[in-house]
Amino acid sequence: MSSATPPRLAANANEETVSIDYSKIIAPVVIQDSSPIDLFYEHCRRLIVRSDGVDEWLLGLLVLDLISGTETYIRRVLSGAINVCARCRTSAAGQQLTFGAASYYRDEEIALALLESALSGEGGVKKKIAALTGFEVKAGTSVASALAAFDRVCQLRHAIVHSHGELNYRNLTELELRLDLDAARQRIQLSAVSFQPLVVLCRNTVRALNNMLYVRIIDRWIDQGDLIGDWAKDRARVEPLVALLVSAEDMPGQTAEAQYASAIKLHIDARNQV
């Protein structure tokens, strides 16, 4: 009798043996000096240039990069706020870190360990802002509207990543699209023209959040007596905040002292109007 192994029932070829040395595909992060918002602006410009003349599949990847860039801005700016504002540090003090994350980041980067989890949707970002800065994002504000709009863009990412661009029921409802029960299932169809408004929407989200943090941190400092109206004494507190949040692109030539003088004057004017 033959001792040959009987054929195995199969629907496809066997798996391949593969070994990946992940140390070969990583490199150190290059720390950049620009403010988070200016780094985001530069990222958006690169995406716009790359979107010209590429096919739909590549545009989908650019959408992923756009959302990733927006979330990277949020992580940078919130961790930066903790570094430059003692009152933000107090708000964040109760947050827990894993031992590994605390060991991985350098001392000046440790706040990033608080932002390793996913920024899942509008609610997730709002909770992080409140937990790490003490600022509530109230309904009806420009920041709340911007985060809600950003959350809708994230529905596109969900469809691109998880279902090759096909929209599910939740995607459609979050995008506020009308459901036609007789119509075929829907998929994302991108073009360079439709990609650019997505960039603008994400930029609006970044601008709204950046302005909110700047105004509310300064207002809180003034209200709590952290700023006393003497530039020589307040300078050490204000300069790092200006470096973190004031866009050199949007506010060219603005010095920290000029920003400080404007903030103090606006506060005095507002108090005199009460």
- Domain segments of the chain: what residues? 34-212
Decide if 234 contacts 260 (C-beta within 8 A): yes
Greatest CA span in the chain, whole angstroms? Answer: 105
Give the per-residue pLDDT at 274. 47
In this predicted structure, what is the pLDDT of residue 184? 83
* pLDDT on residue 117: 80
Q: What is the mean pLDDT of residues 140-154?
A: 94
Query: What's the mean per-residue pLDDT of the chain?
Result: 90
Instruction: Kindly state the tokens that stand for 160.
Output: 């691109």
pLDDT of 244 strictly over 90: yes
Nearest-angstrom CA–CA distance, 207 and 224: 26
Angstrom distances, CA of residue 154 to CA of 35, 65, 137, 174, 179: 24, 11, 19, 10, 19
Tens of pLDDT, residue by residue over 156-186, are: 999 999 999 999 988 988 898 877 767 788 8
Low-confidence winner among 41-45, 74-78, 120-124, 154-158 (lowest mean pLDDT): 120-124
